[in-house]
């Protein structure tokens, strides 16, 4: 369950933290939260395939729930089916983000595998390692890239 943010990549660095702040402020009103310290940023894999210099992305800020009950106002349900993922840690400064995407692309190529553009790329944030809210001085989260069967 979460909040969907849509915008150009250049806009998301401002808009996504605002959505995280909103989700965290509403956490007590969300029934059945699985783990109050673990959150996922979810982006359709097809969004990463865009060739525009400032593409439009859909970015979901989410928390896992045991079951979707009544949705609190402003929150939406997002079903992410079970998949096999390549897990890449993102650790370090801002440069670690692009480095992780390069690393997973190189691994996919070396293994003869492909990312599944029809599934969600996930960023798994455990607040015991890294908060989802700014300031973002150092990153420590997991990038999960869905694999084609």
Confidence of residue 51 (pLDDT cuts 50, 70, 90): confident
Of all residues in the chain, the percent with pLDDT exceeding 70 is: 100
Q: Per-residue pLDDT averaged across 118-128, rounded? A: 96
- CA 56/CA 50 separation, integer angstroms: 8
Confidence of residue 125 (pLDDT cuts 50, 70, 90): very high
**pTM for the full predicted model:** 0.92
- CA 61/CA 68 separation, integer angstroms: 16
Residue 83 has pLDDT above 90, yes or no: yes
Token pair belonging to 15: 């808009």
pLDDT value of residue 41 = 97
Residue 79 has pLDDT above 90, yes or no: yes
- CA 89/CA 140 separation, integer angstroms: 7
Contact at 8 Å (CB) between 5 and 41? Answer: no
Contact at 8 Å (CB) between 66 and 34? Answer: yes
pLDDT value of residue 16 = 96
Structural domains for the chain: 2-146 (3.20.80.10)
pLDDT digits (tens, 9 = 90+) for 28-44: 999 999 999 999 999 99
Residue 134 has pLDDT above 90, yes or no: no
């Amino acid at each position: 369950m979460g909040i969907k943010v849509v915008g150009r990549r250049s806009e998301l660095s401002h808009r996504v933290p605002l959505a995280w702040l909103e989700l965290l402020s509403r956490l007590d009103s969300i029934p059945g939260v699985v783990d109050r310290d673990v959150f996922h940023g979810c982006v359709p894999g097809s969004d990463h395939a865009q060739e525009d210099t400032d593409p439009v992305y859909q970015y979901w800020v989410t928390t896992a729930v045991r079951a979707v009950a009544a949705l609190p106002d402003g929150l939406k349900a997002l079903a992410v089916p079970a998949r096999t993922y390549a897990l890449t840690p993102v650790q370090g400064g801002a440069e670690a983000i692009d480095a992780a995407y390069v690393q997973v692309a190189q691994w996919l190529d070396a293994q003869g595998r492909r990312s599944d553009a029809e599934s969600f790329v996930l960023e798994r944030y455990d607040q015991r390692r890294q908060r989802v809210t700014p300031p973002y001085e150092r990153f420590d989260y997991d990038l999960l890239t869905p694999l084609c069967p």
